[in-house]
Amino acid sequence: MRPRRSQDRELLLLNDILSQQSRRRFLQRVGLAGFSASALAAMLEACGSTSSGSSATSASVDMAGPIKMETLIANAKKEGQLQAVGIPPEWADYKDILAGYTSHYGLPISYKAEAEYSSAQELEVFKNSKTRAHGDIGDVGFKFGPLAVQQGLVAPYKHAHWDDIDANLKDPNGYWCTEYYGAQAFVINTDIVKKPPTSFAELLRGNYKNMVGIDGDPRQANDAFLAVFAAALANGGSLDNIQPGIDYFAQLKKSGNFTVARSSIANISTGEVAIAVMWDYLGLGFRDQLAGKPHLEVIIPSDGSIAGPYVSVINKTAPHPFAARLWIEYIFSDEGQLFYLKGYAHPARYQKLVAAGKVPPDLAAKLPPAEQYANVRFPSLAQLNAASTLVNNNWGPQVLGS
């Protein structure tokens, strides 16, 4: 009998061959290479198809979770990597979260055009991965979680901290869960705008020609969609009526104050978008990153703001299913949640962390004053879906004239 280490090495080599060749060529090569019958039998039993090599293990584990950390780590290491979609390092301190995951578990992370991907585009990647393997996990806007379930794109997983998350912020069957949320804010380049506006009303009546932008197309990008919703709340609308927000941006465009330029950090820093309506945590992160070149100020609008959770999802056809679930456990751990707070996002487990005395006071103090958040509203999924339908139908003809 061969030593166990030798057998393990043979299995790894066989797995590599199988992942790159047809079954016929695989059988030809293993015969020529003189692999042991025991190793060949073990490989064929474990790898009945071109999989990542974890199928036999996952068949014996309840993948709906929670899974013991030692089991997750061992199997994730066998898979060898994590493929992330829509996890930009500059967003909500994902830079530290990505680095922490790799540091703890030794798994490299590959990316898929992170900075420019909307929630809708992330789901498209998941759809495509049914035939082309890329994309294990995603981070999408609240209303896109149920959409992903409806389209059959995601797998359920209830992490170890599942009970800490409010029932309204997660799928009852584990298909998605809120990791953090933000509030809509004004991110203002004060090198250009000397008197920063504090309300949507000021944006409309002030002399801000081509200065006001949002974070993409609200029919595709969740951040931009919630900017329209916030404007609705400030202009006589409600959580059940987003139309005043669409009307508002039509007026803003007619006045010449609205620009279709995206409120990226590059456009804000150059002044192409001098006043961005976007997530507070993005603006606060941009403020720190630019370090006064130019100066940025982040203000929660006094006449209306809305909260928007983001949810974690696992691709149903994830090529690295254990690495994906290990990622979920990490982002909901104390360390992962505090990294979100460091990135100025509001972590879903924030109250639990506060109660446990785990939030550093200096970290909490970096957020805008608490009183600015007094009027921030939280929409339900039904309200978001109804609002989304209205935006999809009316944004083009009423705001863009197309």
CA distance 102 to 97: 9
Would the pTM count as exceeding 0.75? no
Report the distance separating Cα 324 and Cα 104, nearest Å: 14
Contact 372, 299 (CB under 8 A): yes
pLDDT (tens place) for every residue of the chain, 402 residues total: 333 333 333 333 334 333 333 333 433 443 333 433 333 333 333 333 333 444 446 668 999 999 999 999 999 999 999 999 888 888 889 999 999 999 999 999 987 554 467 788 888 888 876 555 578 999 998 888 999 999 999 999 999 999 999 998 999 999 999 999 999 999 999 999 999 999 999 999 999 999 999 999 999 888 999 999 999 999 999 999 999 999 999 999 999 999 999 999 999 999 999 999 999 999 999 999 999 999 999 999 999 999 989 999 999 999 999 999 999 999 999 999 999 999 999 999 988 998 899 988 888 887 788 788 888 998 988 999 999 999 999 999 999 987
Confirm if 314 and 321 have CB atoms less than 8 A apart: yes
d(CA 41, CA 300): 63
In 256-380, alpha helices (H): 265-270, 280-290, 321-331, 334-342, 350-355, 361-364
Instruction: Please give the Cα distance from 76 to 89 (Å, whole number).
Output: 22
Residue 112 backbone class (left: φ over 0; alpha: ψ -120 to 50; beta: rest) = beta
pLDDT in tens, 171-228: 999 999 999 999 999 999 999 999 999 999 999 999 999 999 999 999 988 899 999 9
Give pLDDT, residue 264: 93
Widest distance between CA atoms in the chain? 84
pLDDT of residue 130: 59
Cα separation of 86 and 305, whole Å?
24
Cα–Cα distance between 158 and 177 in angstroms, integer? 9
Structure confidence at residue 373 (pLDDT): 86
Task: Return the closest-CA partner of residue 260 out of 402, 164, 372, 375.
Answer: 402
Distance of CA 274 to the CA centre of its chain: 25
Which pair of tokens denotes residue 313? Answer: 């999802």
